[in-house]
Copies of this chain bind each other. A is one copy, B any other.
């Protein structure tokens, strides 16, 4: 690691002419100036392209607007170049290399001081508002942030509806000007949702300009602030930040000295660089945990898909309501459909252990599932009491005797106070019973009522849960929480998140095949997703009262373990479905979940992604390729392999007649010798893909 910090310039009371700062390679340039009214304004150029046209900045607060009337009091330029090693991830080292310009401003009338800090990387820009300690501004309430992102044209965009409570939507690919017309169809039902505008969209938002520029807007290091969405002025093609309000309509309560999260614009003319970008991680603070030795990537199975598909139930009995403090489950009539029962869990343990998994998630193990959802019930779960047919200590002991662990599940039903009140006991219970990872969930509307999933109140909670989990050496995978913004760098025990439409929606009516070619450009920009891939039985009606079909081929499912990198990967299907295709299952068994290097070979959002990765502390490689609803043949160049070494590759590809809709489970497996000079044409069926495992020939 080297660290280089150079003060390039600093001078008082700068004129209002544009101040610029460029990326280390010179391709990205930020220009800052004040408008005639004294409004801070920035623009971003990439090579000869306009990535962001001049766009206004500012924040409105209950204590007064900080939007106009500014003068520049100081400009500080510096550079930074450092290499750091994440605890887990796509690469074993990451270079953090940027040029910085901090513009110190004073609002003439109020005397208030604000700094806008830009960090310019080779692949994009981060900037944030900072308020130094000052007289006249201490505690303040942000009522609106008016950060603009002015687009240079009617770009193509991959968007989901802007919502304060969910990101679980299918992506729509359209021009910006089409968002308004397409919005009603894009807004599908969710248990908790609040769409704030007919032209509002979520970040990370991936766009592509007519001239081939890839522009991605997101944020980094969302801490003690509310989540930013984007609201589009579709006449001017200008996005404006839309923060998530609290129950009273206020956005954030903060106190100087403080700063906002980073607002980020990734910009490149090569789609693969978006996927390879470390901009978001780099803008986060270094690891805050002293000891990270207990954080281990996890490959797991789960008693879960059968509940999602409605083949079995989370709840033990069928009654309209239970008081978890007094209801006597031992006297209740079992509904006969309870998934998390001793016999079944043992079967799952046997299978998962036999095939080398680390953990087995069991949902529905604990009391309270009879009336957990949609009731605004506060005292909904206790997180420590198993159902009578789930002998927790015996099952955990059985699992550990076979070399795996049970994985804990904490569905909170968004009853936040109840969870926080019980959190210490729940985490201690995990420690006492041999658990070291928890999947948590935030289904339904938030209690306290009126708060939103993505507001400051909840963001504060999610991080509280992560930090407290670290005290107990527990890894957390939160579902329905705010979409990640790279905080896993600082808190690497945050090993997963959902915060997007995961595989479960294949059981809720299906997901568009292009989904997995977009998520890495959007949701995954902020951190890994517990996408729960690995479905091998695509017609759910064959085993469950469920008319849904999985819009994916089996080879596509395998590829996801590489194209959707995560330190937490599930094999989501039932053991009996894997048993039918044990040759294909071999890939899931072998594929790594942590990497020393990653290469994006081919990528186009909405169309296809091909990625190659080297397993950490190993000389094995894995390649994954996915396509959208279109069949396509791609040429894979194996030059990512070390030169002069020989490898044997096992190919898992779509069968000739494979098609996500008509023949999803058709695949072929073959092996071939490859080396760094190899290239190979590989066909992907509609909704299909391929996976390759590559081992050195000794």
A interface with B by C-beta (< 8 Å): 133, 135, 138-139, 141, 246-248, 250, 253, 255-256, 320-321, 371, 375-378, 417, 420-421, 424, 448-451, 457, 460, 464
Output the nearest chain B residue to A255 by Cβ-Cβ distance. B321
Residue contact A141 to B450, C-beta cutoff 8 Å: no
Please name all residues of chain B whose beta carbon is closer than 8 Å to the beta carbon of A133 when the two chains form the complex.
321
How far is A321 from B256 in the complex, measured between Cα atoms in Å? Answer: 8
Residue contact A450 to B138, C-beta cutoff 8 Å: no
Residue contact B417 to A321, C-beta cutoff 8 Å: no
What are 11 of the A-B contact pairs (CB < 8 Å)?
Answer: A138-B320, A138-B321, A139-B376, A246-B448, A247-B448, A247-B449, A247-B450, A256-B321, A420-B420, A448-B448, A448-B451
How far is A417 from B421 in the complex, measured between Cα atoms in Å? Answer: 9
Residue contact B138 to A248, C-beta cutoff 8 Å: no
Please name all residues of chain B whose beta carbon is closer than 8 Å to the beta carbon of A256 when the two chains form the complex.
321
Please name all residues of chain B whose beta carbon is closer than 8 Å to the beta carbon of A460 when the two chains form the complex.
378
Please name all residues of chain B whose beta carbon is closer than 8 Å to the beta carbon of A449 when the two chains form the complex.
246-248, 250, 253
Known A-B contacts A420-B421, A421-B420, A424-B424; the reply to A253 vs B378 at CB < 8 A is yes
How far is A686 from B391 in the complex, measured between Cα atoms in Å? Answer: 73
Query: In whole Å, how far is A429's beta carbon from the nearest beta carbon of chain B?
Result: 15
How far is A255 from B320 in the complex, measured between Cα atoms in Å? Answer: 10
How far is A116 from B479 in the complex, measured between Cα atoms in Å? Answer: 43
Please name all residues of chain B whose beta carbon is closer than 8 Å to the beta carbon of A246 when the two chains form the complex.
448-450
Please name all residues of chain B whose beta carbon is closer than 8 Å to the beta carbon of A424 when the two chains form the complex.
424
Known A-B contacts A417-B417, A420-B417; the reply to A255 vs B375 at CB < 8 A is yes
Please name all residues of chain B whose beta carbon is closer than 8 Å to the beta carbon of A320 when the two chains form the complex.
135, 138
Residue contact A464 to B248, C-beta cutoff 8 Å: no
Please name all residues of chain B whose beta carbon is closer than 8 Å to the beta carbon of A247 when the two chains form the complex.
247-248, 448-451
Please name all residues of chain B whose beta carbon is closer than 8 Å to the beta carbon of A377 when the two chains form the complex.
139, 253, 255
Please name all residues of chain B whose beta carbon is closer than 8 Å to the beta carbon of A253 when the two chains form the complex.
376-378, 449
Known A-B contacts A247-B450, A449-B247; the reply to A141 vs B376 at CB < 8 A is yes
Please name all residues of chain B whose beta carbon is closer than 8 Å to the beta carbon of A321 when the two chains form the complex.
133, 138-139, 255-256
How far is A424 from B428 in the complex, measured between Cα atoms in Å? Answer: 14
Inter-chain pairs besides A139-B371, A246-B448, A250-B449, 17 sampled, C-beta below 8 Å? A133-B321, A138-B321, A138-B371, A138-B375, A139-B321, A139-B377, A141-B376, A247-B248, A247-B448, A247-B449, A253-B378, A255-B321, A378-B460, A420-B421, A421-B464, A424-B424, A448-B451
Contact with A375, one of B139, B371, B376, B450 (Cβ below 8 angstroms): B139
Please name all residues of chain B whose beta carbon is closer than 8 Å to the beta carbon of A138 when the two chains form the complex.
320-321, 371, 375
Please name all residues of chain B whose beta carbon is closer than 8 Å to the beta carbon of A448 when the two chains form the complex.
246-247, 448, 451, 457
How far is A445 from B141 in the complex, measured between Cα atoms in Å? Answer: 14
How far is A371 from B135 in the complex, measured between Cα atoms in Å? Answer: 14
Query: In whole Å, how far is A254's beta carbon from the nearest beta carbon of chain B?
Result: 10
Please name all residues of chain B whose beta carbon is closer than 8 Å to the beta carbon of A248 when the two chains form the complex.
247, 449-450
Those 3 A-B pairs whose CB atoms lie nearest each other, nearest first: A247-B247, A247-B450, A139-B375
How far is A376 from B375 in the complex, measured between Cα atoms in Å? Answer: 30
How far is A256 from B321 in the complex, measured between Cα atoms in Å? Answer: 8
Query: In whole Å, how far is A527's beta carbon from the nearest beta carbon of chain B?
Result: 25
Output the nearest chain B residue to A256 by Cβ-Cβ distance. B321
How far is A244 from B451 in the complex, measured between Cα atoms in Å? Answer: 18
Please name all residues of chain B whose beta carbon is closer than 8 Å to the beta carbon of A378 when the two chains form the complex.
253, 460
How far is A250 from B417 in the complex, measured between Cα atoms in Å? Answer: 18
Please name all residues of chain B whose beta carbon is closer than 8 Å to the beta carbon of A450 when the two chains form the complex.
246-248, 450
Output the nearest chain B residue to A249 by Cβ-Cβ distance. B450
